[in-house]
Chain A
Amino acid sequence: MSDISAQLIERIRAASSPLCIRGAGSKDFYGNAPQGEVLDTRGHTGIVAYEPTELFVTARGGTQLAEIEAALAAQGQYLPFEPPRFAPDSTIGGVVAAGLSGPRRASAGSVRDYVLGVRLVDGAARELVFGGQVMKNVAGYDVSRLIAGSLGTLGLILDVSLKVLPRPAAEATLRFELKQAAALDKLNRWAGQPLPIVASAWDAGVLTLRLAGARAAVEAAQQKLGADGTVDAGAFWDELRDQRTTFFAGDAPLWRLSVPSVAPVIDLPGATLIEWGGAQRWLRTDAPATTVRAAAAAVGGSAALYRAPAELKAAAGAFAPLPEPLAALQRRLKAAFDPRGILNPGRLYKEI
């Protein structure tokens, strides 16, 4: 446990050129290429407050995700948005800044849905607190949720308060052999029923479902879904969460498409992995960026170039280009929090 907030604030105050805010660096691959002098947050650590019956945890930005998850597990609680653990020393600041959620996202919500409050240092070296440790809070604009997924471009997260929940009493995994279109159809129809489906993954003709909730509810759902029995998922969900399944191995460019769950099969060359009841489609393809982005846009979604060789990322940009009025709003927001443009410039978009 160590508080180096004063040093971090001073580094930002004194900076005259771009800083690269960095925890363990396990997500250096994500977004556009990091640039600037590294500002290491790993010395700013510790769970500041954890109150299981108030359902929140507050931790300094450099605290390891693993430490937080262990503390929660000891009380039978967890982070339902299941952020991927790319490295054993991934930090909670990085989790929030990246805004990446895991397999349960469609049912449990995303990182931002669990952010209750942040203490941050903005680009003008101001220490600012937004939100708090309570579930319901509408005082002022919801800046703490804005910080989730902003990739460090608005401020450095000194500490963050997250809502936590009790672990479900029971879980089960079911498997079905289904073609992609049939799997999408089933996923959407099931999602419209009161079933305790918390995660789903379709890969190479196999649909894997995760049920969780009260024991009786999980058992009833198993029967209703017509599975012969449960399968031993082993490490499947952990590997999926941490993006270590075979689908994620290899060098072909990896795209993450965020689309309406009912979007039809996206017909592009390469392998597909579907999560979030159809709303997240991973694609390994050499198709040109413009083709992938157009395909996502055509169904009302967007495509992020997730992992790719540096030249390709630099040329295509990690994230889908925004319509000008939205881009203008984002530039002005960036200027409001980081007028000198020194925090992780270019990481999200070239101009912010």
Chain B
Amino acid sequence: MGSLEEFRQLGEGEIARLIAGLRRILATDSLLVEQEDLVPYECDGLTAYRQLPLLVALPTTEDQVVAVLKLCHELRVPVVARGAGTGLSGGATPVRHGVVLSLAKFMRILDIDPVARTARVQPGVRNLAISEAVAPYALYYAPDPSSQIACTIGGNVAENSGGVHCLKYGLTVHNVLRVRVALIDGTVVEIGSEGLDSPGYDLLALMIGSEGMLGVVLEATVKLTPKPQVAKVVMASFDDMTKAGNAVAAIIAAGIIPAGLEMMDKPATRAVEDFVHAGYDLDAEAILLAESDGTPEEVEEEIAAMKAVLEGAGARELRVSQSEAERLKFWAGRKAAFPAVGRITPDYLCMDGTIPRKHLAHVLIRIAELARQYDLRCANVFHAGDGNLHPLIMFDANKPGELERATEFGSRILELSVDVGGTITGEHGVGIEKVGQMCVQFSPEELDAFHALKAAFDPQGLLNPGKAVPTPRRCSEYRLTGSAGHGEGRAA
């Protein structure tokens, strides 16, 4: 984890000026300064690390956002933008001497154009709310992170969120056409366009996944996709993880790009079956869910093809959903994997490495060895189609040393992901959680380039400081100790 304390401390006079300035900009109930009001903002979905901010600003208009940024820029106060706070890497963890800028009140869908297949929305609009609003036009917003019921589009842009349908429908970066962004000095820029291409450097690609470090999203125009007429899923169980991994490769080798291709190992399957009773094969080493969507004809053709491939790959049991209700039941467990694991352990850490699929069996065997070494349980859910692996490390933060062991276990998994040619984060972002492992994945020159790029947008480093890109000092520490220290964050 990275320290959030590298930024300078504010003097009392500066704090007073900041609060006085913010009071002039914001309505009384839009500025939180009392500790009891700040507590709900002390962490995001990475609950193991908490930090109270100096204050929380909850503007309701774009002019207020701009004014808050200008004031913070002038006073050199760090700003951490925040949506629903569902992020899992600590991207929205506050900075002690900084402002949390909540975009939660920007909940309006500004415009839906069913013919152009676009929706223009404010940053605090929930991911799922977009699909719900455009459902009457038989359209939807494709990226579906598992937090989609709560997470906001502003946060999705910051994290380049994925979901279970990325292989076919892409990530946030493939589904956002334009963002309106406020830079730290209050300048508002339009990036991208409703046309498909924009002149100059592709700043939209940079902005998406920049973890709130380059600008604050004020508005996003997203691409809408026609809803497939039908979807069906094949559920296959395997008595061997290697066979399951090979089955995934075989589906792709057969020229099929499934709408969803997900895998769970035995511990994960058992945890979710107890929770949702989906009828999973509890003796299987791996369960594979392969979804096809499209026209009825297309789905029949693809399901038949996938069944044949899975049989050939040695699946011990195959079931095809016979109704929409059954399809949802098959998915229920996969979608509920995180809460299901949450029921069987006081705490868990969700890792997010991506690996080349061919290394799946090797990586899972190594994870099992590490679990024994660290004396902790681990369940694995896997976006098999795109190689994104979510090991869920179970621990009890109240037992001395368990959080530290879990964190170290997680670090080893991420390093393993890099070793096999993958990455430390597929869709959750670096945040504070993986800032140390950035030193494993990137050279000092590459990290320098990231810092220079950041400075092109935010020369004083005020937006979300201490996240995503480690300083050289932090990397030296990480290399020495295998951990980058936790700053003043504390375990829950």
Q: A109-B170, A166-B255, A215-B301 are in contact. Are A276 and B453 (CB under 8 A)?
A: no
Q: Which residues of B contact A350 (CB under 8 A)?
A: none
A36-79 contacts to B, CB under 8 A, are: 51-55, 76
Interface residue? A2 (CB, 8 A):
no
Q: Which residues of A contact B210 (CB under 8 A)?
A: 141-142
Is there contact, CB below 8 Å, between A300 and B170?
no
Q: How many residues of B contact A (CB 8 A)?
A: 97
Is there contact, CB below 8 Å, between A216 and B196?
no
B297-333 contacts to A, CB under 8 A, are: 297-298, 300-302
Is there contact, CB below 8 Å, between A136 and B427?
yes
**How far, in Å, is A259 (CB) from chain B's closest CB?**
5
* Docked complex Cα distance between A71 and B450 (Å): 34
* Docked complex Cα distance between A332 and B453 (Å): 8
Is there contact, CB below 8 Å, between A142 and B114?
no
* Docked complex Cα distance between A255 and B299 (Å): 41
Q: A128-B446, A326-B203 are in contact. Are A136 and B171 (CB under 8 A)?
A: yes
Interface residue? B183 (CB, 8 A):
yes
**B227: nearest chain-A partner, CB-CB:** A194
Interface residue? A167 (CB, 8 A):
yes
Q: Looking at the complex, which one of A126, A276, A327 makes contact with B445 (CB distance below 8 Å)?
A: A126
B interface footprint on A275-301 (CB within 8 Å = 1, 0 otherwise): 010011000000000000000000011
Q: Looking at the complex, which one of A55, A220, A323 makes contact with B189 (CB distance below 8 Å)?
A: A323
Is there contact, CB below 8 Å, between A112 and B426?
no
Is there contact, CB below 8 Å, between B442 and A140?
yes
Q: A139-B423, A140-B450 are in contact. Are A51 and B358 (CB under 8 A)?
A: yes
B interface footprint on A129-167 (CB within 8 Å = 1, 0 otherwise): 110111111111111011011100010000000000111
* Docked complex Cα distance between A195 and B117 (Å): 14
Q: Which residues of B contact A146 (CB under 8 A)?
A: 201-203, 205-206
Interface residue? A312 (CB, 8 A):
no
**B414: nearest chain-A partner, CB-CB:** A139
* Docked complex Cα distance between A196 and B30 (Å): 48
- 14 extra interchain contacts, Cβ-Cβ under 8 A, other than A126-B449, A135-B354, A333-B456? A51-B356, A51-B358, A54-B356, A134-B356, A134-B386, A135-B167, A166-B252, A258-B198, A279-B195, A279-B196, A319-B200, A326-B189, A329-B189, A332-B456
Name B's A-contacting residues (CB within 8 A). Answer: 113-118, 137-139, 159-160, 162, 166-167, 170-171, 173-174, 183, 187-191, 193-203, 205-206, 208-210, 214, 226-229, 249-250, 252-253, 255-257, 294-295, 297-298, 300-302, 354-358, 383, 385-388, 421-430, 434, 438, 441-443, 445-446, 448-450, 452-457, 468-469
A–B Cβ pairs within 8 angstroms, 13 of them:
A53-B249, A76-B255, A126-B448, A134-B423, A135-B166, A136-B354, A137-B425, A140-B442, A141-B453, A142-B206, A216-B298, A258-B196, A329-B457
Name A's B-contacting residues (CB within 8 A). Answer: 51-55, 76, 99, 105-106, 109-110, 112-113, 122, 126-130, 132-143, 145-146, 148-150, 154, 165-167, 169, 188-189, 191-196, 213-217, 219-221, 257-263, 276, 279-280, 300-302, 304, 319-320, 322-323, 325-327, 329-330, 332-333, 335-337, 348-349
